[in-house]
């Protein structure tokens, strides 16, 4: 064997040793310009042969790479690029051993390279991957590309926001990742992003991220898309700042603090803070009008020496791009020594009184005297006043019997003269009777005491009331031999309303069932049924469904007959 043959054998053995590893292992190649030499296989089955392994060269553009042909002792070697014969010259150099050197690698060199000889012998191909750096990513919202110079994106509270990140170019495809960086102080309150898988639609790489519900905690948060690629030393990014527009919320504070009694003559401050985006200025109102003292720019109402006429309903309002908003109403009660509304006509007070009759369930509007900025209170049983509404107007919608009574509008006519005007309205409610049971279903064990209670209201007053069961007819003040006591009707705290009780002691299994209370007035009849269950009783358990299936008209006919009979007793 001559020296040339020995040299070819040595080159072949060295080349085989270098490329004999299987799988997807990655090696550093010694060639100038080659980033990595990898072996890959297209068949993922377990029956892999050495011939199935494909060598892969990964290089950057404008570098140099040398491809080795494994055909030993062959002549007439040529190279094919994507099944097209390569023409030597310019950037392609082929030596006597069949090695192909490509100088200044370009993107068009990417693909599959294969060598053969004049006899048609060939070996496994080589895959050349030419790295192409991607362009900087950019963001889309609703298909519109965002201006990179304008980082602030306005978005309304409680809406959904979807952002798309797009990267053009890049070989292989870059990797896109998302981050949501909350504003300082909101790390634990700002929900994160819901990510979708990266999708490759057309040229470039795309990925979406969604905030399902934008909250005010997301205000000033940063949404970042990070792009990673083998050609880059560090990731590229595109970001935006969330400018969350949210409606105003109010915080009212007071000095002295809430709970401390406000007496006439002391200094008092009310403060209103408005949290909104865009920011909004607080505006104080008293009884629907301007406050009695000038408001400061930072939302303070400062009473140097508070007076009794400063009492009233205060609220904080603001005008925002999303609408007009108001806080809850706060009643400022100033305590003073002189008994309120106890002045006699000789002392300079004026009293007006009016009687209004309204039907049950209707709506009534009460109005303070014309031009007066007073507030409404209801007179209690002991003469005390309970505030019921701010401003000179009071609306009682779907009025109930319990709302009947005396209402008073108090107007300070002159603080200097301490002259007051009290406008009284006596509201009377009329209509058919109504019954309100305290409970509609009771469960008791044998031997216990049970009290059935109802409140009934009627105006004109009720003419007949009674209790009855399936076997008993019971009038107030009656006691039975089996422990049932029907108590007399008592006056309730509300005008036109009374209270009725029926007690059972001790309860027995025979008491299980329905107890019905009926009331009649010249305007009609009303009833309420209370179900008593005794679990240890051997009988059935009554449910509300059982009552609903009874014939209501039949009951009315029976009760009407009973009441007519009782009228002749």
DSSP type of residue 107: G
Give domain limits for the chain.
55-131, 138-245, 256-332, 354-430, 434-533
Q: How far apart are CA 484 and CA 482, in angstroms?
A: 6
Place of tokens 């009707």: 489
**513 to each of 35, 385, 391, 440, 538, how far by Cα in Å?**
91, 44, 51, 12, 12
State how beta strands 268-277 and 300-303 pair.
Answer: antiparallel
* CATH topology classification for 138-245: Immunoglobulin-like (2.60.40)
HSE-CB at 95 with a 13 A cutoff on CA atoms is 9
Domains 55-131 and 354-430 share a fold: yes
Q: How far apart are CA 3 and CA 22, in angstroms?
A: 32
* CATH topology classification for 354-430: Immunoglobulin-like (2.60.40)
Q: What is the pLDDT of residue 290?
A: 92
CATH code for the part of the protein at 55-131: 2.60.40.10
Rounded mean pLDDT for each run of 10 residues along the chain, 569 residues in total: 41 36 31 48 40 76 88 83 85 87 89 88 88 90 86 89 90 89 70 58 77 89 91 91 92 89 92 93 92 93 93 93 89 71 38 75 80 77 77 83 86 45 80 91 88 93 90 87 91 87 90 92 91 68 42 48 51
DSSP type of residue 418: T
Give the closest residue to 8 by CA, choosing from 93, 94, 96, 113: 96
Which superfamily is assigned to 256-332 in CATH?
Immunoglobulins (2.60.40.10)
Would you say domain 434-533 falls under CATH 2.60.40.10? yes
Q: What is the pLDDT of residue 435?
A: 94
Q: Which regions of 415-510 does DSSP assign to beta strands (E)?
A: 419-437, 441-443, 450-459, 464-468, 473-474, 484-486, 490-491, 497-504
Q: What is the pLDDT of residue 266?
A: 93
Q: What is the pLDDT of residue 140?
A: 92
Q: What is the pLDDT of residue 48?
A: 36
Q: What is the pLDDT of residue 372?
A: 65
Token pair recorded at residue 146: 């965002």
pTM attached to this predicted model: 0.46
Place of tokens 């053969």: 116
Q: Which run of H or of E encompasses 312?
A: strand 312-320
Q: What is the pLDDT of residue 224?
A: 92
Q: What is the pLDDT of residue 94?
A: 87
């Amino acid at each position: 064997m001559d020296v040339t043959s020995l040299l070819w054998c040595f080159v072949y053995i060295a080349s085989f040793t270098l490329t004999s590893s299987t799988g997807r292992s990655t090696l550093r190649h010694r060639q100038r310009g080659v980033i990595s030499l990898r072996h890959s296989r297209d068949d993922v089955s377990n029956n892999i042969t050495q011939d199935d392994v494909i060598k892969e060269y990964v290089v950057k553009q404008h570098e140099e790479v040398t491809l080795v042909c494994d055909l030993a002792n062959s002549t007439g070697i040529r190279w094919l690029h994507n099944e097209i014969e390569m023409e030597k010259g310019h950037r392609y150099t082929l030596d006597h051993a069949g090695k192909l050197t490509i100088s200044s690698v370009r993107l068009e060199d990417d693909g599959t390279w294969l060598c053969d000889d004049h006899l048609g012998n060939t070996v496994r191909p080589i895959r050349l991957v030419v790295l192409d750096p991607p362009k900087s990513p950019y963001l889309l919202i609703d298909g519109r590309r965002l201006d990179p110079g304008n980082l602030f994106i306005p978005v309304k509270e409680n809406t959904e926001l979807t952002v798309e990140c797009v990267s053009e170019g890049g070989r292989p495809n870059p990797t896109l990742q998302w981050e949501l960086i909350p504003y300082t102080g909101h790390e634990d309150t700002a929900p994160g992003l819901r990510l979708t898988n990266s999708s490759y639609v057309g040229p470039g790489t795309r990925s979406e991220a969604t905030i399902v519900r934008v909250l005010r905690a997301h205000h000033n948060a940063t949404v970042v898309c990070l792009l990673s690629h083998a050609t880059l030393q560090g990731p590229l990014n595109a970001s935006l700042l969330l400018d969350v527009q949210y409606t105003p919320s109010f915080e009212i504070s007071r000095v002295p603090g809430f709970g401390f009694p406000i007496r006439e003559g002391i200094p008092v401050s009310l403060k209103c803070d408005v949290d909104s985006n865009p920011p909004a200025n607080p505006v104080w109102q008293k009884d629907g009008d301007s406050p009695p003292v000038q408001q400061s720019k930072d939302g303070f109402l400062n009473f140097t020496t508070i007076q009794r006429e400063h009492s009233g309903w205060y609220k904080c309002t603001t005008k925002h791009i999303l609408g007009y908003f108001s806080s809850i109403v706060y009643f400022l009660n100033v305590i003073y020594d002189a008994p309120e509304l106890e002045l006699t006509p000789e002392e300079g007070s004026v009293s007006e009184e009016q009687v209004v009759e309204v039907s049950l369930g209707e709506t009534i509007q009460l109005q303070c005297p014309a031009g007066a900025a007073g507030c409404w209170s209801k007179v209690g049983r002991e003469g005390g006043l309970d505030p019921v509404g701010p401003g000179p107007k009071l609306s009682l919608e779907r009025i109930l019997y319990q709302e009947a009574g005396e209402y008073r509008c108090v107007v300070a006519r002159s603080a200097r003269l301490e002259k007051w005007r009290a406008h009284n309205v006596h509201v009377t409610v009329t209509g058919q009777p109504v019954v309100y049971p305290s409970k509609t279903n009771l469960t008791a064990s044998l031997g216990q005491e049970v009290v059935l209670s109802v409140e009934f209201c009627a105006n004109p007053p009720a003419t007949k009331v009674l209790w009855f069961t399936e076997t008993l007819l019971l009038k107030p003040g009656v006691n039975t031999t089996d422990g049932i006591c029907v108590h007399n009707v008592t006056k309730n705290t509300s005008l036109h309303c009374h209270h009725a009780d029926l007690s059972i002691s001790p309860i027995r299994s025979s008491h299980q069932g329905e107890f019905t209370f009926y009331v009649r007035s010249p305007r009609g009849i009303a009833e309420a049924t209370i179900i008593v269950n005794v679990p240890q009783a051997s009988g059935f358990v009554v449910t509300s469904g059982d009552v609903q299936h009874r014939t209501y008209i039949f009951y009315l006919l029976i009760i009407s007959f009973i009441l007519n009979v009782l009228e002749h007793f």
